[in-house]
Amino acid sequence: MPDLLLDIRGLETQFKTTNGTVHAVNGIALGLKEGETLGVVGESGCGKSVSMLSMLKLIPSPPGKVTAGQAFFSGQDLLKMSNEEIRHIRGSQISMIFQDPMTSFNPVLTIGRQVAEPLEVHMGMNREQATKRVIDLLDMVGISQAKERINDYPHQFSGGMRQRVMIAMALACMPQILIADEPTTALDVTIQAQIIDLVKRLRDELGMAIIWITHDLGIVAGLAKRVVVMYAGYFIEEASVKELYGNPQHPYTLGLLGSLPRMDSDQRNRLVSIDGLPPVLYETPEYCPFAPRCQYAIERCRQENPSLQVVAPDHRAACWVDPQTGRAR
């Protein structure tokens, strides 16, 4: 499909550990259009960060290894690129912002130097040009007195401000894709609202595509157009945001939505809890990885691992059972 900006196919990542090989990402496929915002939702350890890091060849090897798959970005396979080649993509055409704004900066360099680095490396600017651009960028993300603040060090900024600086750094080279890996998880809600507001504004101004990784179904509801839900290294459901929340078709998605108390309702229904724990996969399962926790599981779920199937227009789910009726699809 030529109109896709990013086209990931069959991506698999494994980690060698003393207990065996952990199958962290198990053959995910993903297409991202220009300017689209995609939410990737899942609990800790489900492989949502690892899949994005794999695509950018940021998985430390050993112990990690991308064992299969392709990731086409404007016609080129990122996974086949040399380290030198992919460095030109990372930070200039695809950039990433991280969860922890406290540890993602170098504490002994000024903010100005760190934001200027991608400009000098990727766009060949000299120091003077870069500094000018840094001040513009910091202005853009809402840091007041940017001219003075470029000489400050990371510890002189609050968490929310640091996250703004990180966004400025990620957007320095006007990337086509911004990957946001839980950028607001460490922040308070009022600061989180500021950051989401900022990203939305910049998205509309600059027209970049966003992949927003989060465990918070609330953030995705207001931000993304399309959502994928991940579990144990698999994509288990994919749909437009309204379809996913209005008509969830995988029991795990259903459980996640049911386990969230709603702030806008006064009902005090007992929360739906999903019993048990997410698995750590040491081999490719011959069964649905969610089956042990699933209340709808039938015999087939324990024998065969379902793949994503179209269940409604623009809606795919990997489940043998229709949770709305409780019968096999």
Partner 1 sequence: MTATNNSILLHVDNLVKHFPIMQGIIIQKQIGAVHAVDGVSFDVRSGETLGLVGESGCGKSTAGRTILQLYRPTAGSVCFGGVDLVNLRGNAMRRMRRQMQMIFQDPYASLNPRMTVGEIIGEPLIIHNVGTRKEIDERVENLLELVGLDPAFSNRYPHEFSGGQRQRIGVARALALQPKLIICDEPISALDVSIQAQVINLLEDLQQQFNLTYVFIAHDLSVVRHISDRVAVMYLGVIVELANRKDLYEDALHPYTQALLSAVPIPDPVVEEKRRRTILQGDVPSPVNPPSGCRFRTRCPIAQEICAQQRPEWREVKPGHFVACHLA
Q: Which of 18, 83, 126, 268 binds partner 1 (CB under 8 A)?
A: 268
Task: Give me the least distance between CB of 95 and partner 1, in Å please.
Answer: 24
Number of residues that bind partner 1 (CB under 8 A): 46
Q: Is 190 in the site for partner 1 (CB under 8 A)?
A: yes
Q: Is 241 in the site for partner 1 (CB under 8 A)?
A: yes
Between 160 and 306, name the residue whose CB sits nearer to partner 1: 160
Place of tokens 């009726």: 325
Q: Which of 84, 266, 283, 299 binds partner 1 (CB under 8 A)?
A: 266
Q: Is 61 in the site for partner 1 (CB under 8 A)?
A: no
Structure tokens at 305: 């691992």
Q: Which of 218, 310, 314, 324 binds partner 1 (CB under 8 A)?
A: 218
Between 1 and 271, name the residue whose CB sits nearer to partner 1: 271
Place of tokens 């500094």: 131
Region at 182 (left for phi over 0; alpha for psi -120 to 50; beta for the rest):
left
Q: Is 34 in the site for partner 1 (CB under 8 A)?
A: no
Q: How many CB atoms lie within 10 A of CB 205?
A: 10
Judged by DSSP in three states, 238 sits in strand
Q: Is 148 in the site for partner 1 (CB under 8 A)?
A: no
Structure tokens at 162: 């640091």
Residues with Cβ within 8 Å of 108's Cβ and at least 6 positions away in sequence, in order, are 153
Contact 146, 128 (CB under 8 A): no
Q: Is 320 exposed, middle or buried (0-12, 13-18, 19+ CB in 10 A)?
A: buried
User: Which amino acid would we find at residue 291?
Assistant: A
Judged by DSSP in three states, 118 sits in helix
Q: Is 161 in the site for partner 1 (CB under 8 A)?
A: yes
Residue from 225, 251, 271 nearest 311 by CA = 251
Q: How far apart are CA 279 and CA 66, in angstroms?
A: 20
Q: Which of 2, 62, 246, 313 binds partner 1 (CB under 8 A)?
A: 246
Q: Is 217 in the site for partner 1 (CB under 8 A)?
A: yes
Q: Which of 192, 202, 234, 311 binds partner 1 (CB under 8 A)?
A: 192
Q: Is 314 in the site for partner 1 (CB under 8 A)?
A: no
Tell me the torsion sign for CA atoms 257, 324, 313, 292.
Answer: positive
Q: Is 18 in the site for partner 1 (CB under 8 A)?
A: no
Q: Which of 155, 189, 283, 325 binds partner 1 (CB under 8 A)?
A: 189
Q: Is 44 in the site for partner 1 (CB under 8 A)?
A: yes
| Contact stretch for partner 1 (CB under 8 A) within 74-82, 85-93, 133-141, 156-164 | 156-164
Q: Is 219 in the site for partner 1 (CB under 8 A)?
A: yes
Task: Give me the least distance between CB of 317 and partner 1, in Å please.
Answer: 18
Binding residues among 63-122 for partner 1 as defined by CB under 8 A: none
Q: Is 193 in the site for partner 1 (CB under 8 A)?
A: yes
Q: Which of 84, 107, 263, 299 binds partner 1 (CB under 8 A)?
A: 263
Q: How far apart are CA 27 and CA 15, in angstroms?
A: 14
Residue 143 CA neighbour count, 13 Å, CB half? 28
Query: How are beta strands 4-17 and 20-33 bridged, if at all?
Result: antiparallel
Q: Which of 83, 270, 283, 325 binds partner 1 (CB under 8 A)?
A: 270
**How many residues belong to the chain?**
329
Between 10 and 222, name the residue whose CB sits nearer to partner 1: 222
Between 113 and 164, name the residue whose CB sits nearer to partner 1: 164
Residues with Cβ within 8 Å of 165's Cβ and at least 6 positions away in sequence, in order, are 101, 105, 111, 114, 115, 138, 141, 143, 154, 157
Interface with partner 1 by CB under 8 A: which residues?
Answer: 43-44, 158, 160-161, 188-194, 196-197, 215-222, 241-242, 245-246, 255-264, 266, 268, 270-275, 277-278
